[in-house]
Structure 1
Amino acid sequence: MFVFVCAGCGAELTTPVSQVSLPVHAHQVYGNGAQLPVLMETGTFAVDPEPWGPPWRKWEHIHPDEAAVRGVYAPVHALSDGAPGAIAIAPGDVRGVRLVPEERGGACCGLDGTGGPNTACEACGLLVATRVDDCSLWQAVWLAPNAVQRLPLDGVDTEPLSWEELVEDGRSTPPFEPVATWASRLGSSHHWTWSPRWEAAAGRALAHLLAASGGQPVTVPNGLAEEVFQRALDALLPGGRQKRRATLTGPGLPAPEAGVDIFLVPVHPQTGQAWTPGGPTASAYPVPLPFGVWLWMAFPPPPPPVPASGGVPDDVLREPVGRRLGGGSGWRPDFDDSHPPRPPHLFRIDRRTFHHTLARLPAVRSPWLREILDSHTHQRYIALF
C-alpha cells in the first residue's frame, strides 16, 4: 500500500491506498444530466498511462507520425499534452487539500476538470489534484503526477488475488443498474437502465472484436454476449458463410473447443493483465472484458425458481450485486427481490470508448476498419451507440 504526499512540502494527501487497474469507464461521458457514482473503490488508486487534461491539441495540429509514436493511429478530436500518469482515487480518500474556486473550469452541475488542477495542498498551496464531480462524469480526484509523490508503507504490502480466488469471491457487475439524475424542483429521481460500466466495457471489446475479425463476420455466444455484441457486429461487418467464432474463456470455464478464433477473456481487476489461455488455443485473439462483466457473462445467475408475484416498487433503490457462491453451489442474487427491472430499450455501446480504443489499435490502419471508424457516427448506426 501507499500514501501520496505533496511534492512541494511533503504533507500527506491521502489515506493508505493500494493500486488496481484503471477502470475502462474512467473517462466516460454518460447520458445527459446523469449523476454517476464514485469511480474508485475506497482504499484504491489507479494510474492512467496516457496524458490527461489540458493543454489539448486538436487533431489537425498533430502530425500522424507524432500521433503514432503516442499509440494513436487514426484521427481523434484532440490529444492531451498534459503529463501522463494521473492518479485516480476516491474523493473520500483525500486528506489535507482544499478546492480552489477560481480554478473550477467549465462546469454544468459540478466540476468537470477541463480547466486543469482545481485542488491545492492546504499546507503549501501547490495545486496537486483535479476534482471531477460534474453531471454525466464519474466522480473522482485525479492527483497530478508532477505534483505528488508515492510513498510505500512498510509491512502492509498485499499480493494480488489469484484468478481462482477472484472467481470464488464472485464480485460481478450486473448489466442493469439505477442511474440518478440531478435534483430538480420535484426532487431527485432515478431510472433503471443498462449499466454504464457495461456500455463502456462493450465499447472497448467491440473495437477488439472488429480488429480480430479481419473483415469477416463474427459470431458470439448466445445469451448476454449476443445481446451486447451481435447487433453491432452484424451491422458493421459484411455477411458471409465463413464466420469467425468468439467464445468466453477464462478461469472456471472448460477448455475452449478447437476452431475458435477469438476469446472473450477477463482482465484482472488489480493487475490489469488479461487472462491468457495456454496450449494450442494460445494463438486466438484475446478480447478484454472487465472481470466483473466477464464473470456475469460467464456465470449468469439463474432465473427465479418460481414466478415472482409483486416485488419491490420501481422507485425503490436496490443494490444489485450478484455473488457466486463457493463450492459450485451457484449464484445468490443480492437483490431484495429476485431481479432488477430490465430496461425497455436495446443495449447500446459507448461511442466514445469504442472510438478511443479503435483509434489506438494498429489494425485501424487497414482501409476497411478505418472506414468503420470514420462512419460509425452515421445515422444508420445511431441505434448501436
Structure 2
Amino acid sequence: MFVFVCAGCDAELTAPLSQVALPVHAHQQYGNGLQLPVLMEPGTFAVEPEPWGPPWRRPEETGPDEAAAHGVHGPVHALSGGVPGPIVIAPGDTRGAVLIPEKRGGACCGLAGGDGPNMACAACGLPVASRIDDCSLWQAVWLAPGAVRPLPVEADDAGPLSWAELMAEGKGVPPFEPITSWASLFGASDRWHWSPQWVAAAGQALAHLLAASEGRAVAVPDGLASEMFRRDLDALLPAGPPARRAVFAGPGLSAPDADARILLVPSHPRTGEVWAPRTGDARTPAASAYPVPLPFGVWLRLVFPEPELPVPASRLMPEDVLRDDPPAPAVHDVFRIDQHVFWHTLARLPAVRRPWLAEILAPLTPHPRAGTFQSADEGLRDPGPCPVL
C-alpha cells in the first residue's frame, strides 16, 4: 500500500491506498446535468498511463509518427500533450489539502479542473491535485504527476482476489440505476437510467468487436448483450452469413463452443488482467479466439442476471410483516454506447489501420458531438479539456 506525499514538503496528502485497475469510465461524461457518484472505491487508487489533459492538439497539428508514439493508430478528436501518470483517488481519501477557490475550471455546477490543479498542499501551498465534482462527471480527486510521490507503508493488504473469489463475492453492476439531476426536487429515484458503467463498458467492447469482426457480421448472445451491441453492429457491419459468433467465456462457465471466434470475457477489477481460457493446446479454438474485455461487474450481470424483483402482493399481509417490493424499474431509452470511450479504445487498436476497418470508419467522425452512428446520442457532451492537470 502507498501514501502519496507532497513533492515539495513531504506532507501526507492521502490515506493508505491500494492500487487497482483504472476504470473504463474514468474520464466519462454522462448525460446532462446529472449527479454521478464517486469514481473510486475508498482506499484505492488508479493510474492513467497515457498523457492526459491540456494542451490538447488537433490531428492536423500532429503527424502519424507522433500519434503512434502515444499508442494512437486511428482517428481521434485531439491528442493530449499533458504529462502521463495522473493518479485518481476518492475525494474522501485526501488529507492535508485545501481547495483553491478561484480555480473552478469553467464548471457550471461544481469543480472541473479545467484551470489546472484546484487543490493545494496545506503545508506548503504547492498545487497538487484537481477535485472534480461538476455535473455529469464522476466525483474524484486527480493527483498531479510531479506534484506528489508515492511512499510505501506497511498495512494489511490481502492482494487481489482470484477469479473464483470474485465469483463467490458476486459483486456485479446492475444495468439500470437511479440518477438524479442537479435541479431535481424528488431525489435520486425520480428517473432510472442505463448505468453509466454499462454505457462505457459497451463503448470499449464495441471497439474490440469491430476489430474482431474481420469485416463480417457478428452475432452476440440474446438478451442484454444484444440490446447493447446489436443495433450498432448491424449499422456498421455487412449483413448476412457467415457471421462470426461472440459468446460469453470466463470463470464459472463451461468451455466455449468450437465455432466461437470471439469471446466476451471479464477483466479483473484490481489487476486489469483479461481472463483467458486455460488450455494446454494452443491450437484449440478457444486459444485463437479474440477476447473482448468487459469490466467484471458488468460481465457478471450479463452472464448471471439478477432475478426479477417480486411482484407486490395483492392480498393483505400479516401485521408483523413489512413488505417493500417495488416494481422493476422501467428504462425506456434506447441503449447508446459511450462514443468517447469507443473512439478512445478503437484508435489505440492496431487493427484500426486495416483497410476493411478503415473503410467502415470512413463515413464516421471521432468528434463526441457527432452522435452514435445512425442516431443522435442525446446527452453526451464534448469531453473538451480533461479535468486532470
Distance 2:362 2:133 in 1: 31
Secondary structure (helix, strand or coil) at the match of 2:85 reads strand
Tell me, yes or no, if the aligned pair for 2:204 and 2:342 is still in contact at 8 Å.
yes
**Separation of aligned partners in 2, 1:122 and 1:80:** 29
| Whole-angstrom CA distance in 2 between matches of 1:379 and 1:122 | 44
2:303 alignment partner, one of 292, 298, 305:
298
Within the candidate set 348, 351, 363, 1:375 is matched to 363
Q: Is the 8 A contact 1:18 1:45 kept in 2?
A: yes
User: Which deviates more, 144-153 or 164-173?
Assistant: 144-153
Instruction: Quote the residue 2:384 is aligned against.
Output: none
What CA distance in whole angstroms lies between the structure 2 residues aligned with 1:371 and 1:384?
22
Residue 90 in structure 1 maps to residue 90 in structure 2? yes
- 1:120 and 1:214 map into 2 onto residues whose CA distance is 50
Give the 5 Å matches for 1:133-282. 133-183=133-183, 186=185, 190-279=190-279, 280=284, 281-282=286-287
Instruction: Give the 3-state SS of the residue equivalent to 2:86 in structure 1.
Output: strand
Question: Per the alignment, do residues 101 and 69 of structure 1 end up closer, same or farther by CA in structure 2, a change over 3 Å counting?
Answer: same
RMSD: 2.0
Alpha-carbon shift at residue 369 of structure 1 (Å) = 2.0
Asked if structure 2 preserves the Cα contact closer than 8 Å seen for 1:38 and 1:90, the reply is: yes
User: What is the CA distance between 1:170 and its match in structure 2?
Assistant: 0.2
- Counterpart residue number, 1:346: 334
Shift in alpha-carbon separation, 1:33–1:17, aligned structure 2, 3 A: same
How many pairs does the alignment contain?
Answer: 359
More strand by share: 1
Contact 2:34 2:136 in 1 (8 A): yes
| Worse-superposed segment, 226-235 or 138-147 | 226-235
Matched residues in 2 for 1:187 and 1:362: separation? Answer: 47
Indicate the residue corresponding to 1:16 in structure 2.
Answer: 16
How far is 1:370 from its partner? 2.6
1:187-212 superposed Cα distances (whole Å, 9 cap, x missing partner): 75641011111000000000000000
Q: Give SS of 1:292's match.
A: helix
* Alpha-carbon distance in structure 2 between the residues aligned to 1:41 and 1:6: 22
Q: 2:293 aligns with which of 288, 295, 306?
A: 288
Report if aligned partners of 2:371, 2:377 keep a CA contact under 8 Å in 1: no
**2:78, 2:133 → 1: CA distance?**
22
Structure 1 counterpart of 2:75, one-letter code: P
Q: Deviations over 1:280-323 (max 9, x none)?
A: 2111100000000000011112335x64458xxxxxxxxxxxxx
Query: Which consecutive unaligned segments of at least 5 residues does structure 2 have?
Result: 315-322, 365-369, 379-389
1:55: Cα distance to partner? 2.0
Query: CA–CA distance in 1 between the matches of 2:96 and 2:237?
Result: 52
C-alpha separation between the residues in 1 aligned to 2:71 and 2:355? 18
Give the match for residue 314 of structure 1.
Answer: none
- The CA deviation string for residues 43-86 of structure 1, in whole angstroms up to 9 with x for no partner, is 11111111112222222111111001111112212121111111
Identify the match of residue 357 of structure 1 among 342, 345, 353.
345
Taking structure 1 as reference, are residues 379 and 33 closer, same or farther at Cα in structure 2, changes over 3 Å only? Answer: closer
User: 1:375/1:137 Cα in 2 relative to 1: closer, same or farther (>3 Å)?
Assistant: farther
Deviation (angstroms), 1:339? 6.0
State, as a whole percentage, how many aligned pairs show the same letter.
64
Aligned amino acid, residue 210 of structure 1: L
